[in-house]
Structure 1
Amino acid sequence: MRLFFSAGAGYSHIAPLLPLAVAARDRGHDVVFATGSNALEHSRAHGLPTIGVDGPVDEAAARQAWGRYSPAELAVMSADEKLAYVVTVMAETGAAPRVDGMLASFREHRPDLVIAGAAEFAAPAAAAITGLPYVVHGIGPPKPASIMAGGWQALDPIVRRFGLDRFPDHDTVPYLDIWPEALRPRGITWDHPVYLPARPEGVLPSAGERPAAFEGLPHGKTVYVTAGTSHNTRPGVLETMISASHGEGINVIATIGRDGDRDRFGAQPAEVRIENFLPQQRILPYVDAIVCHAGAGTVLGSLAHGVPLVVSPLATDQFDMAAQVAEAGAGVLADPGSPTRSGIRDAVRTVLADPAYRDSAEALAARIAAMPDPGSVLDHLLTPSRSPGTR
């Protein structure tokens, strides 16, 4: 079968789709992975045939879309209102320029099924135009229908150019859900009510030696600090998270990004190790807690290893993920929007002192490990008699 994977041009959008794409390739399916031309290396590193699907960028239109609200108006919006706005603008500025390129790619590769990453709107638009079946692959927690509505509505004028009245309803489109159900809030009308759990294989524990960065650390407990791949250059964030543990009698391993500038952190005490990049699967087996921005990959990776978290969300759906971690008892929420030394310090003390946080994280690790593996997900997707569940 010919399978066409498509994801936004960012590592955090591409990585969640890679395990399913690799499993499909290994089972003999004809796989193509599409993303932005500036992000081809992530899927190519896994041996996947990868193409760039871009389009003409209208800088003026993008500035207008992102400047629809003034800073004062944004300041009084709720987190959900801000996220809904971001989703709408992502669809407006991302799908329209790329839909023609996506349609050309469909004509060339003739897929039988399209697997689109969540927040990747060009591929569903092109699938609707061509009548191709598609599924949506989660890249983080599922979203309420109210958050995503503006994004889907933004596809209406795009598909009208090709003879459709509007973008079709997607209530029966399967959603591959990598988020553990135990974290999901109740009483929500979800954007995709038809879903299939899919284990986030890329964040699971894997064999490997302890990194050399751990050698010679003086204390018995170690905290891992990260702001992911999108916020690691945000001024003051990593500096605050790292310095919060100074003098606390704990070790700190911090990663700052492949291109991060270590000099920006100045001299550090002997218990602090700052690295540009280490795979989190190699770090997490050897740490007692993680301090982070509540990014999806970081949260899932930490929970998959049974490591409790201190979460200081910075943007978009990180606030939701942080609240879910705290509600599940697997971590402590600290300083939403702007981490402080005292807030991070007190939260780290709490997480390390109370074993209940690790117990909750380990319980979630067991749930994540029990989710269907990529091969089982493929069997469900490609066997018509099998049906996903309904929320």
Structure 2
Amino acid sequence: MSPVLTVAADLVGRGHEVVVYTGSRFEERALAIGARFQALPPEADLDDRKLDTLFPVRATLPPGPAQLSFDFENFFLGHLPAQVRGLRALLATFPADVVLGELGFWSIPVLSLSTAPEERPTLVTLGSVPLLIQSEDTPAFGAGIVPTPGEEARARNRAMNAEVRQVFAELQRFGEATFESLGVTVPGYLFDAPFRRTDHYLQLTVPSFEYPRSDLPEHLQFVGTLPPASTGDYVEPPWWPELSAGRPVVVVTQGTVANNDLNELVIPTVRALADLDVLVVAATVREDGPDLVRRALAEVPDNVRLAGFVPFDRLLPHADALVTNGGYGGVQTALYYGVPLVVAGASEDKPEVAARVEWSGTGVNLRTSMPGATELRAAVQTVLRDPSYRSQAGILAKEIGQYNPFEAIAEIVDAPARRPGPRTGPIELAPRPAGAV
């Protein structure tokens, strides 16, 4: 939701009328940026923080195809009929000129397939994970394999892509049945639909952080990294001046999703760097994160500072390295500031993010979600001592600086409306906050 809300805030600031349509837990954040809010229908309105509690079997599934199939059958596709129904009801009273969503918002390909372009809003999809569209130029998504050139490699890629389609054959059939229940047909491979069935696919990175492909759709473009949201109200902790005291600063985080078990990366990193001449900032994101780390250690090392949420726009300009499990947004933010990386992740899209870090020369890929202390220590020392990683991260930072994703999105939104005309009726949504434009 962070990329969507960041874009929504910019559009509100430009004077556009914006409705945020998502889970009810984000209502307060949507209203705070001056947008209106409409919750998903109750049967699709789940709290993503409680999925493993609501669906205990999910926690038993290993990362990879099994967990991904479960998520699609129960959430992305399982709730699609309700999501589409709610969106159509919203558009009936609020005939928007543009519907903008991230990759997981599967109502966009349904609208694209079910309605002629002149009879619907312009559809814009934000790419907030690495490109997973199949291509003969790249290995199958999920394997975390860096591509190589040549016909032999392309033949291997085609074989891998076919194998992946077979692995997800049952999910393909589930998706086809779901789409057919909505009156449309899945055109080809299910996972390619969000890329091919939208008017504009905007990848939130720069070309140098994505594998080159010769067969991308024409409507797919790179628009650069969203700048980190400003957090002017953050109260700096007492140790903040130490960030500028001269020691290399190493930040470690497991992001906002895969942080249930800090023993995967945060705690091992704290242990691995305990006797190095560096300042370690453990940004656990969780409110109880610092206490969890303290309980796991006999003693917190002298060079470690524990924190819950720390805004990256304030912290990363001081960092010399970021140790992360490979969340796409966090990695993009590190590159925005030219910070080299050590990446260790195995769930969701993280192996693919780590592979792109390796391929771009901006950091070290540990190829595991639970690295040992020896591996972590060596990787951090490598990134700090070898100037090529900082140099490559700096090159990407300069490239990121040449893009303006807000302007790219505004250009689409400001284009002449396809369906001009006044609103046909009142929209019953949460009221806009006082003083909002």
**Aligned partners of 1:107 and 1:343: how far apart in 2?**
56
User: 2: CA distance between counterparts of 1:158 and 1:15?
Assistant: 28
Which residue pairs with 1:197 in the alignment? 222
Aligned pairs for 1:314-325 (under 5 A) are 314-325=346-357
Shift in CA distance, 163/328, structure 1 to aligned 2, threshold 3 Å: closer
- 1:156 positional shift: 4.0
Q: Which amino acid aligns with 1:376?
A: A
TM-score when normalising by structure 1: 0.80
TM superposition shift of 1:100: 1.9
Deviation at 1:292?
Answer: 0.5
Q: Within 5 A, what are the aligned runs for 1:163-242? A: 163-166=183-186, 170=196, 173-187=199-213, 193-203=218-228, 211-212=236-237, 213-216=239-242, 220-237=247-264, 238-242=266-270
Q: Does 1:160 align with 2:160?
A: no
For the residues of structure 1 that align with 2:234 and 2:78, how far apart are their CA atoms? 43
Q: 1:372 corresponds to which residue?
A: 404
Partner residue of 1:41 out of 28, 44, 59 = 28
Q: Which moved more, 1:173-182 or 1:263-272?
A: 263-272
Count the aligned residue pairs: 363
Larger CA deviation: 206-215 vs 288-297: 206-215
**Which SS does the other structure have where 1:234 is aligned?**
coil
Q: Equivalents in 1 of 2:132, 2:67: separation in Å?
A: 10
- Corresponding residue number in structure 1 for 2:423: none
CA distance in structure 1 between the partners assigned to 2:90 and 2:230 by the alignment: 35
Change beyond 3 A, Cα 1:367–1:154? farther
Partner SS state of residue 258, structure 2: coil
CA spacing shift, 1:24–1:269, aligned 2, 3 Å: same
CA deviation map 1:342-371 (0-9, x unaligned): 111110010001111101001000111111
**Residue 307 (structure 2) aligns with:** 275
Q: Is the 8 A contact 2:283 2:306 kept in 1?
A: yes
Write the letter of the residue equivalent to 2:303: E
User: How far 1:198 moved relative to its partner?
Assistant: 2.2
Task: Tell me what 2:13 maps to.
Answer: 26
Counterpart CA distance in 1 for 2:125 and 2:381 is 39
> Could you say which structure has the larger radius of gyration?
2
Cα pair distance change 1:366/1:204, threshold 3 Å: farther
SS at match of 2:276: coil
For 2:392, the equivalent position in structure 1 comes to 360
The DSSP-based 3-state class of the residue aligned with 2:79 is: helix
Secondary structure in structure 2 of the residue aligned to 1:176: strand
Question: Which residue in the other structure is 2:331 paired with?
Answer: 299
101 and 18 in structure 1: CA distance in 2 versus 1, 3 angstrom threshold? same
Q: State the alpha-carbon separation in 2 of the partners of residues 207 and 294 from structure 1.
A: 26
Q: Is the 8 A contact 1:171 1:194 kept in 2?
A: no
Decide which moves more: 20-29 or 290-299.
Answer: 20-29
Q: Describe the SS at the equivalent of 1:332.
A: strand
Call closer, same or farther: CA 1:66–1:261 in 2, change over 3 Å: closer
2:149 — aligned with what? Answer: none
CA distance in 1, matches of 2:101, 2:67: 20
The alpha-carbon deviation at position 384 of structure 1 amounts to 6.7
In the TM superposition, residue 51 of structure 1 has moved relative to its aligned partner by 2.0
Cα distance in 2, alignment partners of residues 58 and 301 from structure 1? 29
Verify the 8 A CA contact 1:180 1:368 in the aligned structure 2: yes
1:49 partner letter = R
Query: Which amino acid is the alignment partner of residue 116 of structure 1?
Result: G
CA displacement 1:237-277 (0-9 Å, x = unmatched): 22112222111111111111243242221231221111111
Q: 1:128 to 1:165 in 2, by over 3 A?
A: closer
Matched, 1:254 2:282: yes
The question of whether the paired residues in 2 share the 8 Å contact of 1:152 and 1:167 is answered with no
Write the deviation string for residues 114-146 of structure 1: whole angstroms up to 9, x where unpaired. Answer: 112111113442564455231211112222237
| Equivalent AA in structure 2 for residue 348 of structure 1 | V
Judged with a 3 Å threshold, the aligned counterparts in structure 2 of structure 1 residues 377 and 263 are, in CA distance, closer, same or farther, namely: closer
Which residue is equivalent to 1:263? 291
RMSD over aligned CA atoms reads: 3.6
Say which SS state the counterpart of residue 273 (structure 1) adopts. strand
- Which of 267, 271, 274 aligns to 1:243? It is 271
**Which of 133, 139, 150 is equivalent to 2:128?**
139
1:69-121, Cα deviation, whole Å (9 max, x unpaired)? x96xx68xxx6x56864674343223234222222222222112211211111
Structure 1 unaligned segments of length 5 or more: list them: 1-13, 386-391
- My pick for the range that moved more, 229-238 or 161-170, is 161-170
Matched residue type, 2:209:
L
TM-score (norm 2): 0.72
Deviating more after overlay: 89-98 vs 317-326: 89-98
Tell me if the contact between 1:16 and 1:139 (Cα under 8 Å) persists in the aligned partners.
yes
Stretches of structure 2 that go unaligned for 5 or more consecutive residues are 135-139, 142-163, 418-437
Secondary structure, in 3 states, of the residue corresponding to 1:374? helix
Question: Which deviates more, 219-228 or 263-272?
Answer: 263-272
Question: Which residue identity lines up with residue 269 of structure 2 in the other structure?
Answer: M
